[in-house]
């Protein structure tokens, strides 16, 4: 895929999100008069913005419940959406794909963002390689992936760069092994997906990490995963809701 095609798709994604948010703002202005019914799109983006706000509120020590949007509502946005849960804080938000690109290394890079960009999660071939806005973020991660299949390509060394809470950077080296646990059918918001369950077991820094990926080689998608994003962020659960 050419860089031009990737930029074009990213631009369309940003334009679509901006247009949808403009619709939501116009809807709010119209509703202030008390005569028009709230559009379905407004309800969707109101809830999505709420989920983003709840995710961002974790920096202020706030508690939040998971957003409750249906698959039909999310698909109606026309956006590519991943549900992200920070397990340690029990916070969930819907993140929109704001950018997709490639570089000199294998694997498609995708940046998932809240509407206000206060929280982002970056993946390479479905593997988390960076976070922003979660506190003690994963600044970068070198992982072994292949263009031919989603998820990690195998075992071996993995190096994570962590931003400590004192803003210093620390390199964390992990030694990993990858196991194929076989075929599994999973359910994501009422839609069943046939996947293969991959488990990556890592050791390093005096502890153990286990990452799970439910992958679909035909579509090239990691439909669901549970991944460790460093000692401060902890585990993130990702569920791909829309293509």
Phi then psi for residue 42, to 5 deg, are -65, -45
- Find out whether 16 and 78 touch, Cβ atoms under 8 Å: yes
Q: How many CB atoms lie within 10 A of CB 179?
A: 11
Measured in whole angstroms, the distance separating CA 181 from the mean position of its chain's CA atoms is: 23
Question: Residue 23: what pLDDT?
Answer: 36
pLDDT of residue 16: 44
Residue 55, pLDDT score:
54
**Superfamily of structural domain 3-240:** YmcC-like (2.40.360.10)
User: Which DSSP string do the residues of 132-152 spell out, in sequence order?
Assistant: ESSSS-EEEEE--EETTEEEE
- Return the domain boundaries, the chain: 3-240
CB 152 within 8 A of CB 127: yes
Tokens of 110: 């995708």
Say what the pLDDT of residue 47 is.
52
Question: Which residues does the chain have with pLDDT short of 70?
Answer: 1-67
**Separation between Cα atoms, residue 61 and residue 40, nearest integer Å:** 31
Predicted local confidence at residue 60, as pLDDT = 43
């Amino acid at each position: 895929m050419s860089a031009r095609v990737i930029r074009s798709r990213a631009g369309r994604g940003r334009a679509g999100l901006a247009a949808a948010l403009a619709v939501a703002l116009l809807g709010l202005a119209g509703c202030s008069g008390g005569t028009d019914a709230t559009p379905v799109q407004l309800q969707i983006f109101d809830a999505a913005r709420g989920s983003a706000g709840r995710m961002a509120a974790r920096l202020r020590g706030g508690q939040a419940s998971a957003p409750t949007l249906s698959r039909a509502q999310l698909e109606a946005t026309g956006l590519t959406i991943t549900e992200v849960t920070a397990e340690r804080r029990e916070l969930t938000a819907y993140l929109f794909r704001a950018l997709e690109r490639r570089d000199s290394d294998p694997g498609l890079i995708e940046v998932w963002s809240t509407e206000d960009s206060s929280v982002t999660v970056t993946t390479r071939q479905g593997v988390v390689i960076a976070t922003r806005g979660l506190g003690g973020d994963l600044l970068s991660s070198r992982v072994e992936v292949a263009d031919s299949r989603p998820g990690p390509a195998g075992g071996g060394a993995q190096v994570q760069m962590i931003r400590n809470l004192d803003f210093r950077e620390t390199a964390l080296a992990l030694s990993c092994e990858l196991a194929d646990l076989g075929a599994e059918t999973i359910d994501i918001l009422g839609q069943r997906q046939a996947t293969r369950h991959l488990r990556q077991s890592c050791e390093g820094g005096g502890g153990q990490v286990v990452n799970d990926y439910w992958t679909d080689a035909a579509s090239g998608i990691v439909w669901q995963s549970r991944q460790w994003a460093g000692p401060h962020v902890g585990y993130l659960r990702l569920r791909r809701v829309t293509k």
